Structure 1
Amino acid sequence: MSSRALRKRQNDEQLLDALLGSSNLKNLKSKEQKATPKENIFALMDNGEEDQEEEDEQSEKDEYVKHEIEREEKTHVLTKSQRKSKKKSKKGKKKLKKNTDDLPKSDDDDLENIIQYFKKNDALNYGIQNFANNSDIKSDTKLDSLSCICKFYDLKIDNGFTHFPIPHLEHCTGFFNDDFKKLDPHFEFKLLFDDISQESLEDIDSMTSTHISPQQLKQIQRLKRLVRNWGGKDRRNVPAGAGGAIHRLQFTKVQEDWLPTLRGELSMQSLKTEELRTWQLWQRPTDWKDVIEEDISLWKKKISFYKFEPLNPDLNRKAMTEFYLSVILHPDHESLVHLISSKFPYCVPALLQVALITTRQGDRSNTNGLIQRALFVFDRALRTGTKFDGVSCQLPYTFFFNRQFYLAVFRYILLLAQRGAVATAGEWCKALWSLNPLEDPLGCRYFIDHYLLLNKEYHYLIELSKSPLMTCYRQWFTLGLTLGTVLSYLRLGQQEFAREELHKAFKYHAPSLALLFVDKLRGDITLTKGLELDNKSAELLEAKAYMTRFALAWQNPADLNFLNIELSKLLRDFQLKKFELAPNISNEDSGINPFFVEGIPVNLLRFSILSEESTVMANIPDAVWSNHEVYEFDILPPNPTTKESTDFVEDIKSYIDDRELATSQFDMDQDEVLMNQIRQLSLEQFLEENPNVAPE
């Protein structure tokens, strides 16, 4: 055998190892050894008769094999966890063995056939193993029985979620995130690249959060010696007040340029019964108090409700007052940067606002550090043993610093996606959803499917489509999740189920699918007669939001062809009146329902604004911008629904000292007058020195 053939054979074995795993490769090797005669040792040496063309061809082959190995390794984000679950689950072993037994027979020149075969079966194997790790979702009988009970109720007439009792939420905890290590992008990078060093991982987050000089960095290093238990070897220790107590960080790490402090800025407090009662009276202003009291007594046994509040109210009031001046009254980017650089380095609204400003200016070098520092403030306040599983930690959206945590997580998800850590971004989406699964303040249901599909969590989407989290209320059966379920069935090779799911989606989202059929699939517009969407409606806004990411999900020509053909059939059948659509939801304003603004779900509006997609924001009704508060640091905050909830619902003004604000305002006005006087004197002096120059 020539050296060219030997190298080719080694590369083929390498690729097979990446596809099959070591156990299956041994079986193939043993079969190959039986079929291959014993070779002369001298035949392994180069015979010198290969020409340059063969060497060039082999080099191209080497590059192709290397590329395929890297691509397959990157595709399997959970390679190690798959192998572990494979050893634990006998069912998983049987299914994998069945798939590998059907491996097509091929020689050295048929590697492409093997690659295509495993691409087809990998989705099924991957989904089974990834999904089977979660015991809460593994029991399909519970979810099936619950989904049979649930129907498409209307949130506009049930703002208390009375049709979604506590047992539903308890059985759906597996859809959320209860493993903090999955929230660390380093965990994903290690799975993607087994040979990546710890130094390389640390170098990823080595960027500072602000422009800092070497002298300032030395001063921070000196302060670390004075603050005990700051950082530690793994940079996850921070002091927890007096007594030398240590608090372990769960999803952030201390960075070099962060100022050491003895105490945190926020604390995590359990909601008292009175606070829960006032919160529910805000959410359900027309319900009887006795009914609310009964519900609260049941919730407190199963669900834990918390709020973040300042540890030092006076210091926080000063920081928030200066922030309000720099952002609302006298917008000044420089003063805002100075605020987090020297005075209040852990002011969360200021950190998130500066991160947004730097991103818009095209300087993303400090964005990561700023958002991580904001998350660090909440991580430091997090209670020990907290899990993001939907019941252990719920954060009502009526509290200002709870909303800041939501916003920090959302911005971090966008940042992770830009860095390519889609699996971690998907886990953070589950964590964000778990903080308030029913209200879903930032509309996770409108964008979580994007990250789940990128991470090939097809079985998660399929099981989610059967759960009460999608089947209970009409507004929860979103366009993105329904089409994500259709695509998941297609990726698993189950076209019949995909066809049924698409028919169900068409029944509830026919106008949106008609718009997608014309705009994205270039379909026949005559088939969409009678399915036009109203301008400024919730359906149009949701459809536009989905269409911005449609091309990223539906990339496979076969999937696009299936969608085009099936939508054409459905539209023709609709024109022939072979079936009826579900009744439309009224777009009229629901009045005292706090979850709708101008007839549109408020979480859909918040997501649309946070996405900063111009094509989406253009379809937001003008009344939303003119009649409601839309601050970048607090988009569409909750409004009081009763007189009792006026003092309960927090906003930024709840943390501002009016007297200090007036004093600061007076000082700024005085500075402005002085600057005008200086400019006038400079102009007069210039005219005296240049008498021939006259002002225009």
Structure 2
Amino acid sequence: MARLDFRYVESRTLYLALFRHMQFMARRGCWRTAFEVNKVLLSLDPVADPYGALLTLDFHALKSHQYEYVRQFVRDWSWSSVDLPNWAFSRALAEFMMEQQHGSAAHSMELLVQAILKFPTVVPVLWSKANVGVDDVVLTHPYFQDEVIADTSAMTHMQLVVQLFVERHTPLYRTPEVSRWMQEGLLLALESIAVNDTPQSKRDAQKRLCTYVIPENISRHVLVADLETIKAGLPEDIRTAESFAFDPLPPRDDVNVYKEIMRGDDGRGPRMPGTFEIDGEVYDMEDFEGEEGMGLLQQMMNFVRLRVGGAEVEDPGTSSDEEVADDQ
């Protein structure tokens, strides 16, 4: 039940720390830990999902063999939509992995065909990267091609989430059993396309995702996910926006008391690089030199703490333990 308001800069440090920790655990192959951290990250704000935790949760669940979790999550999740390419295919793959114990793949095949028909642009990219043996004529079928063509290097929302899915999930689809399952699923999907040229599911997905307006949380996810090729496909205003490694892509409704301190009362932005304001008086960073500068620094720290916490701040000085040690 714990929630953390992403608007506040102090909260965003925890979001970023969890995302980075999740990345480090995944790189070390600690998939169950990455999965649990991913769940915590999503739970802090499951509606807005500021760091796009939904884009990785299914992957970490599959890597840690939590197949039942994927099935239940798609069925029971009510906070936010999981109507994304990664969840459509991961749901089918999770079902397939559970069915292996019973020697049947009927339901997973149905889910796979549904995913292909709904997100067909996944097919030529994922099938090729996973080295699934399919005739090139099939992969170039018009149904599986992008319908949006524009004179821009930016990706649509659909292209972006498809690329994220394929880059992250491809290793899961390279085993012989999964490859055969994918081949069969594609043939069944082609049969369905021959009967109904453009199923309603594809039309709905195209209408919803074929736009160059990329949600803020997905853009932020791409910026911190260390996927440079995909980052280049973000809209120019996102790629060129002022941002910092410790606070990538702050929200539009940012609540940052430190920014308020670093600018004038008129709120028109920072005064000059390297300057700040304390109680109406503007200081330069060069003033922080020598003993006088240390006193000024302490004054600034007290001012910030009072603004943030509203409590008097005492000079920590030397701890009592250190004082006793010095006396001895």
TM-score when scaled to structure 1?
A: 0.34
Residue 245 of structure 2 is aligned with which of 618, 624, 632?
632
Q: Relative to structure 1, is the Cα distance of residues 662 and 512 closer, same or farther in structure 2, using a 3 angstrom cutoff?
A: farther
Q: Give the distance between the partners of 1:617 and 1:554, measured in 2 at CA.
A: 24
Q: Relative to structure 1, is the Cα distance of residues 447 and 655 closer, same or farther in structure 2, using a 3 angstrom cutoff?
A: farther
Residue 663 of structure 1 is aligned with which of 284, 288, 291?
284
Q: Give the distance between the partners of 1:509 and 1:450, measured in 2 at CA.
A: 18
Q: Give the distance between the partners of 2:162 and 2:227, measured in 1 at CA.
A: 13
* 2:107 aligned partner, one-letter code: F
Verify: 1:580 aligned to 2:191, yes or no: no
| Partner SS for 1:510 | coil
Cα deviation code 1:491-539 (max 9, x no counterpart):
1125111112113323432223343234433634433314323451111
Partner of 1:479: 85
Partner of 2:160: 541
Shift of 1:478: 1.9
Counterparts of 1:177-576 in structure 2 under 5 Å? 391=1, 393-469=2-78, 473=81, 476-493=82-99, 494-520=104-130, 521=132, 523-527=134-138, 528-533=141-146, 534=148, 536-576=155-195
Shift of 1:451: 1.4
* 2:86 aligned partner, one-letter code: G
Shift of 1:480: 1.7
Q: Give the distance between the partners of 1:635 and 1:469, measured in 2 at CA.
A: 28
Partner of 2:324: none
Partner of 2:226: 612
Shift of 1:581: 3.7
Shift of 1:621: 2.4
The answer to whether the Cα contact below 8 Å between 2:123 and 2:144 also exists between their aligned partners in 1 is no
Partner of 1:6: none
Shift of 1:631: 2.3
TM-score when scaled to structure 2?
A: 0.70
Cα deviation code 1:662-696 (max 9, x no counterpart):
4106779xxxxxxxxxxxxxxxxxxxxxxxxxxxx
Cα deviation code 1:429-469 (max 9, x no counterpart):
11111101111111111011121111110100011121234
Q: Give the distance between the partners of 1:615 and 1:622, measured in 2 at CA.
A: 14
Q: Give the distance between the partners of 2:129 and 2:86, measured in 1 at CA.
A: 16
* 1:540 aligned partner, one-letter code: Q
Q: Relative to structure 1, is the Cα distance of residues 526 and 650 closer, same or farther in structure 2, using a 3 angstrom cutoff?
A: farther
Q: Give the distance between the partners of 2:194 and 2:287, measured in 1 at CA.
A: 68
Counterparts of 1:147-186 in structure 2 under 5 Å? none
Shift of 1:550: 2.5
Q: Give the distance between the partners of 2:95 and 2:210, measured in 1 at CA.
A: 36
* 2:93 aligned partner, one-letter code: L
| Partner SS for 1:492 | helix
Identity level (%): 20
The answer to whether the Cα contact below 8 Å between 1:443 and 1:604 also exists between their aligned partners in 2 is yes
Q: Give the distance between the partners of 1:623 and 1:522, measured in 2 at CA.
A: 40
Residue 621 of structure 1 is aligned with which of 235, 247, 251?
235
| Partner SS for 1:517 | helix
Q: Relative to structure 1, is the Cα distance of residues 573 and 395 closer, same or farther in structure 2, using a 3 angstrom cutoff?
A: same
* 2:207 aligned partner, one-letter code: I
The answer to whether the Cα contact below 8 Å between 2:117 and 2:189 also exists between their aligned partners in 1 is no
More displaced 10-residue stretch of structure 1: 509-518 or 419-428: 509-518
Partner of 1:649: 255
Q: Give the distance between the partners of 1:621 and 1:579, measured in 2 at CA.
A: 29
| Partner SS for 2:207 | coil
Cα deviation code 1:627-660 (max 9, x no counterpart):
x3332211211114xxxxxxx7337524647226
Q: Relative to structure 1, is the Cα distance of residues 453 and 652 closer, same or farther in structure 2, using a 3 angstrom cutoff?
A: farther
Q: Give the distance between the partners of 1:466 and 1:655, measured in 2 at CA.
A: 47
The answer to whether the Cα contact below 8 Å between 1:398 and 1:649 also exists between their aligned partners in 2 is yes
Q: Give the distance between the partners of 1:561 and 1:572, measured in 2 at CA.
A: 17
| Partner SS for 2:256 | coil
* 1:571 aligned partner, one-letter code: L
The answer to whether the Cα contact below 8 Å between 2:125 and 2:166 also exists between their aligned partners in 1 is no
- Count matched residues: 258
More displaced 10-residue stretch of structure 1: 500-509 or 516-525: 516-525
Shift of 1:553: 1.7
* 1:650 aligned partner, one-letter code: N
Partner of 2:310: none
Shift of 1:483: 1.6
Cα deviation code 1:176-205 (max 9, x no counterpart):
xxxxxxxxxxxxxxxxxxxxxxxxxxxxxx
The answer to whether the Cα contact below 8 Å between 2:68 and 2:94 also exists between their aligned partners in 1 is yes
Q: Where does the alignment leave 5 or more consecutive residues of structure 1 unmatched?
A: 1-390, 590-597, 641-647, 669-696
The answer to whether the Cα contact below 8 Å between 1:517 and 1:567 also exists between their aligned partners in 2 is no
Q: Give the distance between the partners of 2:232 and 2:134, measured in 1 at CA.
A: 24
Q: Give the distance between the partners of 1:561 and 1:573, measured in 2 at CA.
A: 19
Q: Where does the alignment leave 5 or more consecutive residues of structure 2 unmatched?
A: 149-153, 264-275, 290-328
The answer to whether the Cα contact below 8 Å between 2:120 and 2:143 also exists between their aligned partners in 1 is no
Q: Relative to structure 1, is the Cα distance of residues 651 and 542 closer, same or farther in structure 2, using a 3 angstrom cutoff?
A: farther
Cα deviation code 1:38-63 (max 9, x no counterpart):
xxxxxxxxxxxxxxxxxxxxxxxxxx
The answer to whether the Cα contact below 8 Å between 1:510 and 1:581 also exists between their aligned partners in 2 is no
Q: Give the distance between the partners of 1:506 and 1:477, measured in 2 at CA.
A: 13
The answer to whether the Cα contact below 8 Å between 1:540 and 1:619 also exists between their aligned partners in 2 is no
Q: Relative to structure 1, is the Cα distance of residues 652 and 619 closer, same or farther in structure 2, using a 3 angstrom cutoff?
A: farther
Cα deviation code 1:210-255 (max 9, x no counterpart):
xxxxxxxxxxxxxxxxxxxxxxxxxxxxxxxxxxxxxxxxxxxxxx
The answer to whether the Cα contact below 8 Å between 1:489 and 1:498 also exists between their aligned partners in 2 is yes
Q: Give the distance between the partners of 1:409 and 1:559, measured in 2 at CA.
A: 32
The answer to whether the Cα contact below 8 Å between 1:536 and 1:620 also exists between their aligned partners in 2 is yes
Q: Give the distance between the partners of 1:401 and 1:524, measured in 2 at CA.
A: 53
